[in-house]
Amino acid sequence: MIILAGIFGVLAVVLANIWLANQRSAMAQAGNIPHDTIVVAAVPLKFGDTLSEDKLREIAWPAGAVPTGAFKTTKEALAGNGTRQALQAIGANEPVLTTKITGPGQRATLSAVLSEGMKAVSIRVNDVLGVAGFVFPGDRVDILLTRTVHGDQGADRSFVDVLLQSVKVLAIDQVADESKDNPQVVKAVTVEVSTKDAQKLTLAAGAGQLSLALRQAAASQGEATERVTVSDLTGDTPEDVAKRQAELDRQKAAEEAAAAERKRADDKIDGLAQAVQRVGSQIDELSKVKAAPVVASAPEVKEVVKIVQPEPPARATIGVFRGVKLETYDVPRQR
């Protein structure tokens, strides 16, 4: 056991010396690699921040691994007529690239953020359609279209289609800063789409209701989708949905017909009541009329004619139509 322990100890020392020698050789070779300089952000930058010498600094960088669009010196990054502004959030010690800042004298506007050949289109959303305010500039979303069409058999059909997938969000309301991280309910979302997709969005805005579905940050690839209808929610076939809609329409028509019949009956009763009231008024007027006295033509006439006004009837007969049936009532007349 002592001999074996000594052998393993010697072997461990030899392997450690070999590893240390390899590390020293690698470090020596790394020291011989040519280095260059690159401009990075000295402090965190957000959308719209103006670049200046105190916000940038130069660091050493392997000459063969310089990113495309990087600046070698701060003077080069600030060269040109006018200042440059950040188009997106840039972290501290992150390389400053031409794609992340504006040109000399340009402002950090939405048009400067657009990719080549792409268009910016705004769609209206609310607290529900806009994913409760959790959509931020730089996120990717799917755009869904919900609409209702009139079927051939008279029943309305509602369905949802995935109109566009993996669409980049440029701004929410009038904010295009990707470093924004506080959720807020907005009224409009601006997205980056191609010209054809911009036409689709414009047409869909008038054809139905648009809503957003937030995608995973790393899920930029499209996926197979299919239309979702009401039958997918309840398991009913289109025929079942049509029958149910027809039954609802029939019940609605029956209720409207019954309401119209009740209205006609009420109108007839109101007309009869008004007629009875007019007859009673005429009877009252006749009862108030006094007969003119008769003047004798000659004094020799001894007979005197006296007209006695008859007493008005104490009761009156009233007829009321119940549908097509006439019913009469004997009621006391009001004096």
| Domain limits, the chain | 32-108, 114-235, 237-290
CA distances from 322 to 123, 192, 257, 267, 327 (A): 60, 70, 18, 12, 7
Average pLDDT over residues 194-204: 90
Check residue 182 and give its pLDDT: 63
DSSP 299: T
Could you report the per-residue pLDDT of 278-306, keeping only the tens digit for each? 877 877 777 776 555 555 555 565 566 66
Tens-digit pLDDT profile for residues 134-146:
788 888 888 898 8
CA distance 76 to 166: 36
171, 110 Cβ separation under 8 angstroms? yes
Instruction: Write down the pLDDT at residue 245.
Output: 74
- Asked if residue 146 lies in contact with residue 209, where contact means CB atoms within 8 angstroms, the answer is yes
pLDDT band at 177 (very low <50, low <70, confident <90, very high): low
Q: Reply yes or no on whether the pLDDT at 157 is more than 80.
A: no
In Å, how far from its chain's centre is CA 308?
86
C-alpha to C-alpha distance for 161 and 141, rounded to whole angstroms: 14
Residue 116: HSE in the Cβ half-sphere, 13 Å Cα cutoff: 1
* % of the chain residues with pLDDT over 90: 5
Q: Higher-confidence residue: 141 or 180? A: 141
199 falls in which pLDDT band (50, 70, 90)? very high
* Summary mean pLDDT of the chain: 79
Q: Cα separation of 16 and 249, whole Å?
A: 89
- The mean per-residue pLDDT over the stretch 184-188 comes to 75
152 and 233 Cβ atoms separated by less than 8 Å: no
What is the predicted pLDDT for the residue at 34? 67
Residues of the chain with pLDDT > 70: what percent? 78
Question: Position 19: which residue type?
Answer: W
Which stretches within 180-229 are classed as H helix? 195-207
Mean pLDDT in residue range 66-92 = 86
pLDDT the model gives residue 300: 60
| CATH of the structural domain 32-108, one choice from 3.90.1210.10, 3.90.550.10, 3.40.50.200, 3.40.50.880 | 3.90.1210.10
- Read off the pTM: 0.48
More confidently predicted of 309 and 263: 263
Tens-place pLDDT, residues 226-276: 888 777 776 666 676 677 778 888 888 888 888 888 888 888 888 888 888
State mean pLDDT over 116-142: 80
The pair of three-digit structure tokens given for residue 134, joined into one six-digit string: 């959790």
Whether residue 169 is predicted with pLDDT greater than 60 in this model: the reply is: yes
E strand residue ranges, the chain: 35-41, 56-62, 119-124, 140-150, 156-172, 188-193, 209-214, 228-229, 315-322, 325-332
